[in-house]
Structure 1
Amino acid sequence: MKTISQKTAYIASLATGLLLIFIGVRFFLAPLHAEADYGIQTGLSSNFAFCYIKGIRDMATGILTLVLLLNKEFRSLGWLMLCMGIVPVTDFLIVLNSAYHQSSHLYPHLTAVLICLTVGPYYLYTTKNSTMQKVTPAQ
């Protein structure tokens, strides 16, 4: 039987992956709205290079999160979450230093940081490290 911690980590990981894919797709389909919801304003209305870079980054991370989760690669998912925690930290700082930011735009980035810093270590501490079996030479 799965514990509440296992279920919570699984649901948080699933939601994170799905939301990242949604956010990524949104940066391609509605770049100005996605940029505003991210918490910054580039002032560009015809060059969406930033939006496309942000969109593909989020889509790829979301897809990788789901692939690892659905294949039960929990230790790898833990490393991904922990290492990729730098992304929402940086996003948070970018929005915080934006002249036009609203505090409500900081909360999603802070939530992502908290998910990465709790789910990542949870998976690392609760899954066994896969070790290669030692091969003994035949005598």
Structure 2
Amino acid sequence: MSAKLPSRTTIGTVLAFVGALFIGYVGVNYLLAPESMAPNFGLPSWPHGEGAGFLAVKGARDLASGLVILTVLVTGNRRVLGWVMLATALTPIGDMFIVLLSGGSAATAFSVHGATAAAVILAGGLLLGGSRTPSPQPVV
């Protein structure tokens, strides 16, 4: 008796769900304790004083990203979720380049932001490459 492996769509859905929870958690932590999170971003320095509000911007952005993914996930439309994941990958790609172009830690840029982008792209690809189901027809 052989065990049935999960489908690409199932794996992509699980990756999207875990990713949404993770980025939402990161966002909440940036909102509640930005000083403990900022050093892990990879930049050589982070905003202090009046500029520290930018850490809250990052927190709100990350929390919203997680909520968007969860919202699309609960609709059950895995193709749309796949496209949302691919679009969402632009955020960690941008973060990676920001760290690299700001003289930050290349190790963090690639291991944190680059790996996140790769996981998000993988999830999107799995969701888009999974079995296609017909789109619901509009009610007229």
Coarse TM-score class (shorter-chain normalised): 0.7 to 0.9
How far, CA to CA, are the matches of 1:96 and 1:129 in structure 2? 43
Considering Cα pairs closer than 8 Å and 6+ residues apart, tell me whether 1 or 2 has the greater RCO.
2
Task: Give the aligned residue type for 2:15.
Answer: A
Moved more, 111-120 or 3-12: 3-12
Relative to structure 1, the CA distance from residue 104 to residue 42 in structure 2 (aligned partners, 3 Å threshold; closer, same or farther) is closer
Question: C-alpha offsets along residues 40-92 of structure 1, whole Å, 9 cap, x if unaligned?
Answer: 22242453221111111110110121222233221111111111211111111
How large is the Cα RMSD of the aligned pairs? 2.4
Q: Which amino acid aligns with 1:5?
A: R
Tell me which structure has the larger Cα radius of gyration.
1
The answer to whether the 8 A contact 1:21-1:58 is kept is yes
Contact 1:75/1:129 (8 A) holds in 2: no
* Unaligned residue ranges in structure 1 (runs of 5+): none
- Measured in 1, the distance between the counterparts of 2:63 and 2:71 equals 12
Out of 30, 44, 55, the position equivalent to 2:59 is 55
Say whether 1:114 aligns with 2:118.
yes
- Any unmatched runs of 5+ in structure 2? none
Q: Matches of 1:78 and 1:112 in 2, distance apart?
A: 15
Identity percentage of aligned residues: 24
Which SS does the other structure have where 1:3 is aligned?
A: coil
Any conservation in 2 of the 1:77–1:123 contact (CA below 8 Å)?
Answer: yes
Instruction: Give, in whole Å, the separation in 1 of the partners of 2:139 and 2:75.
Output: 25
TM-score normalised to structure 1 length: 0.81
**One-letter amino acid matched to 1:89:** I
Paired residues of 1:37 and 1:105 also in contact (CA < 8 A): no
Judged with a 3 Å threshold, the aligned counterparts in structure 2 of structure 1 residues 131 and 47 are, in CA distance, closer, same or farther, namely same
Q: What TM-score results when the alignment is normalised by the length of structure 2?
A: 0.81
